[in-house]
Structures are given as C-alpha cells and as structure tokens.
Amino acid sequence: MAIRTLKIHEKITIWVSATIYVIGGDGLKFTRDELIKFASQDKLVIVNQPFNNPAHHNRIIFDAIRNAKNNKIYALIYEKDHSLYLDLKCRIEQADNLIETSAYITPGQHFDKQHWITVNVNLVNSQSELRQLINMSYRLTV
C-alpha cells in the first residue's frame, strides 16, 4: 500500500482508495510581495503584470517573473480562494512525478499543462523545496 502525504488541515488522516493521506504540519507563510522577492532572489529578473488588462476586469491579479536576459516567464504568482499560487515551468517527466507525489502540486493552471505545474504555496512545508522548484523553472528559461 502506498502512503502519500497530503496537507489540507493540521492533524487529520483520511483514507482514500486504499491510500493513506496524512495531513498535518504548517505550510509556508508568504505575502505576495515576499513570494516575488523569494522567487527573484539571486536572479536577474523583470516582474510585471502582462495579463491584467483593466478593460478585462480580472478578479485575479497575476505577477509574472521573467528572466531579464530573454524575457521568458519562469514564474506566475497569483492569489485565489485565500491561497497563494505559483505556476512554474517543469520538464514533462518531472511534472508527472511531482504531481503524483506532492499534494500541493497540480498540472499548470494557466499555461501548458504538460510543461507547467501549479504550486499551492500555502501547503509547501519547506523553503528549500520551494527554492528547488523555482530554480528548476528558472534554469529552463536560460
């Protein structure tokens, strides 16, 4: 039987299709600006809001973080339903594994679902893991 960890609420264990989901621990706490700074650290970047046309009346504000050398987006930050999300580039073979093994990672919500993943930042347990995902995405734009 496979054991997978899924963090939805602290100290709750649920059974689903013969798989145990252990839920617990505290996720990362970032403000939008702190996450932009974290995702940009040690990188030459441009941060803009290319998808926020005032005429479209978007309810969600997207901050795109781009590699300044080639203007390619490697991270898209947005808030939805009181959670902070980060869309990141990812190799197809890594994306499938991350989606299957990490409850806070889903197929990309706003870009190609094969080459992008969406991370619910509020459910990630370690800054180092988040940093690895961000750096992986950035390297794919170099």
Tell me if 7 sits within 8 A of 27, measured CB to CB: yes
Task: Name which of 135, 139, 140 is nearest 115 in CA terms.
Answer: 140
User: For residue 128, is pLDDT > 70?
Assistant: yes
Residues 6+ apart with CB under 8 A from 125: 7, 25, 26, 27, 28
CA distance 131 to 133: 5
pLDDT, tens only, 34-60 = 999 999 999 999 998 887 776 766 677
pTM: 0.76
User: pLDDT value at position 112?
Assistant: 67
